[in-house]
Amino acid sequence: MHCPACENKLRAVTTKQGVIVDHCDSCKGIWLDQGEIYFFTKKPKVFYEALQKGLQNPQPTERKCPRCSTKMEEGNFLSATLRLDQCPSCHGIWFDDGELRAALELGERQFSLDLEQDESGAWGAEPLKGKAAQPHDAVATQEQKQRHSALAAGLASLPSLTLRSTLSFVILYGFLGFILLMAQPYLGWGIHTTVLIYVVAIFIQYMIGPWLLDLSLRFFYNCNWVELKDLPDHLSAFIRRVCKEKGMKIPSFAIIEDSAPNAFTYGHTPKNARVVITRGILEYLEPAEAEAVVAHELGHAYHWDILVMTLASLVPVLLYYVYRTLIRQTQRRSRGSKDKGEGYAIIIAVTAYILYIISEYIVLWLSRVREYWADRFSGEVTGKPNVLASALVKIAYGLVAPKKGQTTTSENSETDDTSRNLDAIKALGIFDRKAAQSLALQAYSHHQAHGSEAKVETAEQKERIAGAMQWDLWNPWATYYELHSTHPLPAKRINSLTDQAASMNQEPFILFNRRKPESYWDEFLVDVFVYWLTALPLIGVLAYLGLASYYGYSITEKQGWCIGGIFLISWGILYLLQTFFSYRGPVFPKMQISSLLSKVKVSAIRSVPVTLTGTIIGKGVPGYMFSEDMVLEDESGIIFLDYRQPMSIFEFFFALMRTNKFIGKKVTVEGWYRRSPTPYLEIKRLILGVDSSQCYVYHFKLVWAFLLMAFGFACLFASVGM
């Protein structure tokens, strides 16, 4: 984009709030897209009312909008002395040097937009305290140049796959063996029976696992097994070359007739591996990108990931089985005669459950390591790591938006449930669907603007993808979600592929050269505190009862009613505070989706109230008839709409009777933008012409909070009358 005042190129700059703004280094002007001004003020209502009225007495100017090239209009904003330029089409606002400061000061008498101060000190904004925000463009920082120069001399090795796999197996099967040996007296097994069951369970699961998945694909998926010659010529030739170079047997191939791009591998060993791809891999990706994805799956087979992950995943299942068996047996024994060993059995059961939780995280950790190695394999055999990075973005995009002129999965009855069923095998896939969708949203807008065959290669598009990566790389919530995922976050995988490309003296696909302006841990800790806020009254009551029991203090009936009343009142007040924090308002300003996606300070707890206008292009789960969620597209991108009601039965009826009515229609949606890690909008109100659908979760929470307080006061009054 170019400055409307001096025609110089605008530079994207990250503010302290983690929001990207476009800044002119020459005239010091700032461009804010529609709604972005609300990210910098604590009093959005003032600006909302001013923008609702529009710029007073707008006059046409010769300045053109840097976003859409429409001639802008100039008018008074908040005062007769402050005149701003606004685009009548995309509703972005241009602020000349000092005007943004003046607007914010008029609105709330404080300035909250912090940019990095350059050498001349003339940014027209406050400098950051401590670590400054880093301006960013397509040119690498000196630090990154040095890093890439070092990588060009030799790529840094990934964590040893053999060492980490061996360590994981020692820990996992050590857990399992310990629990089985400790539990066998209470399970009624002999030591030989225990060991035999241990070995047979592993063997049976390993032998029949791929066969069961074969059956699942045959009966629950629209899947067709194909010969290598049935694949596109370029892909079959590529597979033959890679398998010959690596000494691998050519795997069996199957195609799932679904437009959601994904791929996975399974089998016993590399000699009988099966590679399954969806039709979307062939339809949405460039030939080189499809090859890179298949190479990733061949990498899983080459590294024996099929066997390793099968054996590793078995341990948590058996540990949980031991835990449930011991619990059931102790419950049965407690109904009859007391057993002296019952207490030990409970201890072993609890230990088994703790080890089950730990083993689940070890398996996820091992899976993420092996994903990096499969990515590295793909970059090696294709010679172009950037191609897989590009494919990762497009694969996520393919889940939610078809090519221009192509039938959507929601319109194709043959693939109604396939995307939903793919979730069951996501651990085997090329990516974790939920974690990748943030990049999908960014890729979509460029795809819409440049056509279905557009490559993700323009500077503007890379800026948008980098904007989405900010949340993945900076927000502490992203780390939390990654710990519970089978795959690394897409942003981290892209960074790893960028390093591999640099080691091959290739230009990186995405250059994320942004310095984090702050830690964001303060917001994270506040979110966690708010999340557990309603648990405080229960903790207080339990602590009081525990102390009373410890000191032998008996609680009278009157005191019991009083304690119950205080508990309910406290619960209601804290629940109300939690609701107000999570459901912000009352202003729901109009914004664009692209403005929301680069915001870092947002989570499932911390929301952004917003109004979006766009077209419903499909259901949240493509083609699934019971999906009440939908997908909204505006001119800047797409976002998932989360339809919630206090009772799921209402969601069920909405899915059956209302969602199809909205598909293909232009709507206005009020709601709360969240990220967890998928960006989504929780619907407050969905408007289609004169018709509207209301979600009442927020209202229900308010009613519930007041009911709790009412019951609490009733208990207090009851205690007074005793």
The pairing of strands 11-14 and 20-23 is: antiparallel
Q: Using CA atoms, how far apart are residues 299 and 430, in angstroms rounded to an integer? A: 11
Q: Using CA atoms, how far apart are residues 528 and 522, in angstroms rounded to an integer? A: 10
Side-chain half-sphere of 272: how many Cα atoms within 13 Å? Answer: 10
Q: Using CA atoms, how far apart are residues 231 and 277, in angstroms rounded to an integer? A: 11
Q: Give the tokens for residue 147.
A: 């890093």
DSSP letter (8 states) at residue 2: B
Closest C-alpha to 267, from 294, 300, 235 = 300
Q: Using CA atoms, how far apart are residues 532 and 538, in angstroms rounded to an integer? A: 11
- Report whether 152 contacts 501 (CB < 8 A): no
DSSP letter (8 states) at residue 114: B
Residues 6+ apart with CB under 8 A from 107: 41, 43, 46, 47, 50, 78
Q: What is the amino acid identity at position 92? A: G
Catalytic hit among 36, 73, 289, 297: 297
- CA angle 468/296/400 to nearest 5° reads 40
Closest C-alpha to 580, from 702, 465, 676 = 702
For the chain, give the longest Cα–Cα distance: 92
Residue 453 — φ and ψ, nearest 5°? -100, 10
- Residue 342 annotated among the catalytic residues of the structure: no
Closest C-alpha to 136, from 488, 533, 464 = 464
Q: Using CA atoms, how far apart are residues 506 and 497, in angstroms rounded to an integer? A: 11
Closest C-alpha to 682, from 627, 604, 587 = 604
Catalytic residues: 297
